[in-house]
Structure 1
């Protein structure tokens, strides 16, 4: 789903003050050329954004058709055995053991790990596993609120939103910084409004609190108000889920709500084409837990110039008036906003312009590279 990004100018010069290239281990729970995920995506972005750093990262073996290997100039892939690239227990175990060896050969460790149920134990073993190297820990998703108090920070913690930073600081999680994720703007250019019957898109995971059910109910509200559109749900699965059963349940819900033009898809190879064809992105989950704090499809839609309707969750407050927000889990209000937006083309144009401007200002690759390069310099000085 991600295209390889050309290294930005900021990253090209940021780390070149040292005569030798800084050596950094990217510690992830699985291979970077394996299954898509927030942690893998962020690590791949750092890899591409800072070409003057000598990275070591995990690569899938044997390599099969799927995600392309990262484009790192002069870096060192370390192969781990993986059947399909999904970060299951065998992959995570290999990553921890291999990381313990390679951490001692690097100047800095950059971990991309969710604060999940096994993280507290890992955090207590940090001195044994990672030695005395400085550590940057980028947290890709929102943890169970009970876990940070039971864990220890690995080093300097980086989160994606101010709301997440406030939560971890309240849990006394040490030095917490905010570096928003990036979107490669050259690969997501702004596009004009599509013609024909509007396509309303939901992109998310098969999960009880993922928001797909609310999206269907909201679409039914808009249809009942007279709006005409096609609804597409692009659903990604997590390990162990009954994805087929979940798809059928969503289809049945749509039919029961009187929606006729509905398509439920699985993994989408060409997300850019799907978002470009969409008129509006709906992302109304009641809560976000475990997945990316700022989901990538939201940024991709805003960069493309597609208005977005979000749940009014704290992590989305930073978007300001660039998006529409409805109370979390409120399908009726979400549907009213959808009907209003589909009926007012001038408002659609205003939101499209605001969304693109917000991504350029806060989520561009130059800013992303400069912030991480500055943090690396600070910790290594």
Structure 2
């Protein structure tokens, strides 16, 4: 992986600080830095520095001014400028970035500014397919699913590799199912209409009207520029209108481990991913913990096969009845819990993740 006399230097480009809010892009980048031994990473660090351990052991942190750790326009602009300044001083640039509205212009300008340094671009997801008409590849491209790999290939991104994300099973051990109180249904996604929260509320209401007892817990990730307080109020009001009075709406949760362990089922029902990772890490973490998941039947989730239950996007009636049956049938719950854990153990290991990226690094490093 480069000259034996020194460790290769890799610039890890993200849209925000690596120690900021841990969205899919940030988690994937941190995972790469964690498993790629023998590499010195240059990475964006939040200033002022937050409490807690550094996401990267060693390497060179580059200060990125950020009060809340989110990738606002100012942080994206800082990241672009810093990457231009540092790219020529590294052996490889590894970009971990979703294809969003600003990507087409970025993809036309940024590569001209960084010189001939090779680039590897991991694409967690695509916000809207029509953006690809004006987008250009930054270099060798990696997708998280076959669906997005084919989509990028048709848009001129060449032969796109697929590298599934990883889950550290030692950090996400199987936890016993909670035994006290009504079952807890954990909802993840986004606040906007296609993000799954409203459909999850409607599905839970169907389950309750069919006889299920449950507590609904919404742990949703905001997007930059959203009025989260207003969105959360609207969701509470909708839950009350549906008769779901055991409902809590949480803000962003930094560490999901205890929240997932306290839940019985994960409900993730987006109608469109909207830039969320093709294989959402929270879903994988729930499966690793031994929590069955009910997902929208989006093509990006096909890699999970029978490890999850899938329902047509927007079909809250079917999702609700699946939820009721799952909560009422302990034997089915246990079977799905075991299948989910086995799927993570087979397909989403750090070893597989590391080996695929190590091979790509070897191909690109001088």
TM range (shorter): over 0.9
Q: 1:187-232 CA deviation, whole Å, 9 max, x = no partner? A: 0001122112211110222222110111011001111111111111
Within 5 Å, give how 1:1-381 maps onto structure 2: 15=1, 18-65=4-51, 68-73=53-58, 75-196=59-180, 197-380=182-365
Contact 2:2 2:365 (8 Å CA) reproduced? no
Contact 2:15 2:97 (8 Å CA) reproduced? yes
Q: 1:146-179 CA deviation, whole Å, 9 max, x = no partner? A: 1112111011111111111121112222231110
Unaligned runs of 5+ in 2: none
* SS class of match (1:24): strand
Quote the offset at 1:108 in angstroms. 0.7
Q: 1:94-136 CA deviation, whole Å, 9 max, x = no partner? A: 2111111211111110001221222111111233222111110
The 10-residue stretch of structure 1 (136-145 or 80-89) with the greater mean CA deviation from structure 2:
80-89
The 10-residue stretch of structure 1 (16-25 or 155-164) with the greater mean CA deviation from structure 2:
16-25
Residues in 1 aligned to 2:238 and 2:115: alpha-carbon distance in whole angstroms: 52
Residues in 2 aligned to 1:212 and 1:127: alpha-carbon distance in whole angstroms: 38
Residues in 1 aligned to 2:68 and 2:235: alpha-carbon distance in whole angstroms: 27
Quote the offset at 1:82 in angstroms. 2.1
TM-score norm. by structure 2 comes to 0.96
Residues in 2 aligned to 1:317 and 1:338: alpha-carbon distance in whole angstroms: 20
Residues in 2 aligned to 1:33 and 1:163: alpha-carbon distance in whole angstroms: 30
Residues in 2 aligned to 1:44 and 1:51: alpha-carbon distance in whole angstroms: 13
Quote the offset at 1:17 in angstroms. 7.8
Contact 2:137 2:156 (8 Å CA) reproduced? no
* SS class of match (1:293): coil
* SS class of match (2:130): coil
Quote the offset at 1:16 in angstroms. 8.4
TM-score norm. by structure 1 comes to 0.92
Quote the offset at 1:19 in angstroms. 3.3
Residues in 2 aligned to 1:304 and 1:152: alpha-carbon distance in whole angstroms: 39
* SS class of match (1:190): coil
Residues in 1 aligned to 2:111 and 2:258: alpha-carbon distance in whole angstroms: 46
Q: 1:251 to 1:72 in 2, by over 3 A?
A: same
Question: Paired residues, what number?
Answer: 365
Residues in 1 aligned to 2:281 and 2:70: alpha-carbon distance in whole angstroms: 19
Residues in 2 aligned to 1:68 and 1:207: alpha-carbon distance in whole angstroms: 32
Residues in 2 aligned to 1:122 and 1:266: alpha-carbon distance in whole angstroms: 31
Unaligned runs of 5+ in 1: 1-14
Residues in 2 aligned to 1:17 and 1:222: alpha-carbon distance in whole angstroms: 60
Residues in 2 aligned to 1:127 and 1:348: alpha-carbon distance in whole angstroms: 49
Residues in 1 aligned to 2:255 and 2:86: alpha-carbon distance in whole angstroms: 35
The 10-residue stretch of structure 1 (356-365 or 143-152) with the greater mean CA deviation from structure 2:
143-152
Q: 1:5-51 CA deviation, whole Å, 9 max, x = no partner? A: xxxxxxxxxx5883321111001112111222111111111011112
